[in-house]
Structure 1
Amino acid sequence: MNTYIKQLIELIEDAITKAPKKNTDTDEYDAEVESCFAEEFLQGKPGKISAITGIDKYNFPACDKLESGQLTSLLTSLESLLEAYNWEFMFPEKVTSKVKYQFIIDHWDSEHVHCEQSMVQIETCKFDENDCPFPGHCNVCHSFKCDNDSSHHLDKGLIDFSNLLPDFTEEDDETLRDDIDKFKKLIKEPKNTHHIAGIHNYCDGRCKRCEFTDKCSSFSLNSELESFNKTEAPQDDKQIKVILKATTELIEEELSKKGIAMDDALSEIENEEPEQKVKHSLEKQAESYAEKVKRWLESNQMELESRIVAQPNLKINEDTETITWFQLFIPAKINRAVNGLSKVEHSDLDTYDAHGSAKIALLAIDESLIAWENILKFIPNKEDSILNLLRHLSKLRSELEKFVPEARTFVRPGFDETNF
């Protein structure tokens, strides 16, 4: 078998030498070239991988005939061959070499567009949890079945953010003192006095599309901060040091008013036992959706980019932006809604915030569903995977409406009121 594997790898290497040469002159890569690539992808006729590479499927031994080292060497050569012909199978992160190899040879006679100058991603998953091609190797769809599993990969763990924060020294305090004081004043004394209280808590965060920016304290503060930062020369992590120090001092001042020392408060937090909380199925489904979107976009990048370039009138770019904008937004708002209503003793404020968070999550889901439906119209060859994403999102919407039945009728400050 070793002799045969060696000969097969030599055959693959010979096929690699026959692959079309790629244009490596990046200086010549302009909009016209990009448009040609898009047309090549959209107008190209799909062909079998075996026919285009010149290597028939029967040449590849089955997995159970290969030793570990042989499998690794053969898979490496196969992936190099695919790359030479601008193909890439988009596998989940934890898929083993054995599963990858078997999947590739099983689909060696599948047909795909071949672009000589641009990479084509080959979709490997339709996001159907009932028909998974990688059982036991991928958790993207598994969240529906783990409602009571605290060890599930989507359950939150304890995260140490300390190594992400810059060190703050006494010298920093002296050199940045003026900036820290300016920042504190900016937060405590916003210039605009006509803000709608709480409007920023239940918006979709897309300020450029918003008609209420002049009434939003968050937008106003960010605008003033941008203006403040433009007057300062960029200096490593200076800005984040100023923000962190100013925020810390403001918290200390508020605690002091209540007779609480910061050190005592931190000590009490450190001594508390971390709450062991099993994540709600809604949270898992929302985060699973976000993972699916990531995988789908990675697998269909060339498809989307080509259509955006070649068919700008279809506005696929706008639909893609909507999907990516809400990809993480939806899990965040659902998490806030679930946590607010899951407290043993939740206050009226917790209930109010949970209803508002659920409403904006539902509105984000509504927009995402419309965006996916539009993309399906323009890319019907991706029907299977898009329909499964639509089913996932529709199920999430339905269950969120049942969990927070008051969400749809929640009146968001400013947006849902008529007196502004």
Structure 2
Amino acid sequence: MIGRVIDVRSTTIRVALEVGAKGFTKVGPDGLQTVGVVNSYITVPAGAHRVVGIVTAVYISGQQQPKGRVELLSQDDTATYELEATVVGRFEGDAFKSGLTGYPPLHAPVQAATPHEVKNIFHPGGGPALRIGTSAVATEQSVYLDANLLLGHHCAVVGSTGSGKSCTVTALIDGLIDHEIPNGHVVIFDINGEYAQSFPPSTVRGKKTRPLILGPRPGASSGLFLPHWFMNNEEHLTLFKASEGVQAPILQRAVADARVSGASTNKEMLRLQNVVSSASIIEGMSSNSSKGCDIVFAQLAGLQTMVNDQVGKTSACAAQWAQIKVMLDWGIAKANVQDAVWTPLTPPQRDILAPMLVAIRKEVTAAFGVLGMGSAQTAPDFDAPVYYSLQELCDVFLPNRIQLEQAADNKIAGYVAT
């Protein structure tokens, strides 16, 4: 016995060491034993079982001498030594089990765990066990894993780079192979292709197992390829390093536009974008004092041909196309722009074309909204794995989204330039 229990809590017990144990060693039937050292084990009777605790703290406190009585005593003679242990399980006979069925009473005798008891703590009985190394708290004691429990639960081996995770997994697999464990199954998600080559039929490991390898073989000509359109919203933002303030919302909406386009009518969306581009060209020519009529004439003629072709087709935004045609036919006839080289637009022509283009832009914005790509609306799911062209995202959808958002803030293009 090394001491007695003086305090019992839900997970810890406190022990006052006896005078003979203050030197932190004690001679017993099992030889010289270390006492009161952090990470050592103790046992305490608790009914029919013995509680097992691991020492987590050691204390020393002075003892007050009664007044009027002065003796020349050393600090060791007057000090009280105590230790605190965390309860980790119990012994039922010689078998160690986790959990508690009862607590020890106060003044219960405390003993240091014998080498045989420490071995039973680390070596599970009743089935095959795998040796995985040596205990850090009992360097002479090997540590084992119950093979049945290991195979009956999920297992994770975690650690920093170079700490030995792959070697540990290999040791576990080889340890399981060395034991005759019927119906033992191991599933490895081999992300880096490290283990597929470890089970060739000619080796001992390959002969003792029946490996089923799914997926491509490692190498330059094979592998797992993830399409860009499989990425979710968070991954898109990470790839483009979009800032949260302005860039992230613009990119999210542009990707959503691209997904909607990929899932529906790409041609109609491109035609709407074409209308916006032509409107921008015409507006640019309105301020040109030396020429412009020939370019505006060509843009208006091309727009009229394209819109007439689109109006005759079934479309979700057929009403918007019909309105665009009405405005375009009226404006072209009213402005009467001639195909004249080096001739600027006249003020009356600009006065007709400017409101017409404003009205057409409003219809285009409404059409984008119907398709789920408007400034106020987006696709219902940013993360939906719908195909879209990465080139079109950069060349069409992102510029279109920037142009739509610039109606509220003309600095948007500068914000998203990076």
TM range, smaller chain: under 0.3
Q: Which has the higher contact order (CA 8 A, sep 6+)?
A: 1
Q: For the pair shown, which has the larger CA radius of gyration, 1 or 2?
A: 2
Larger proportion of helix: 1
TM-score (norm 1): 0.20
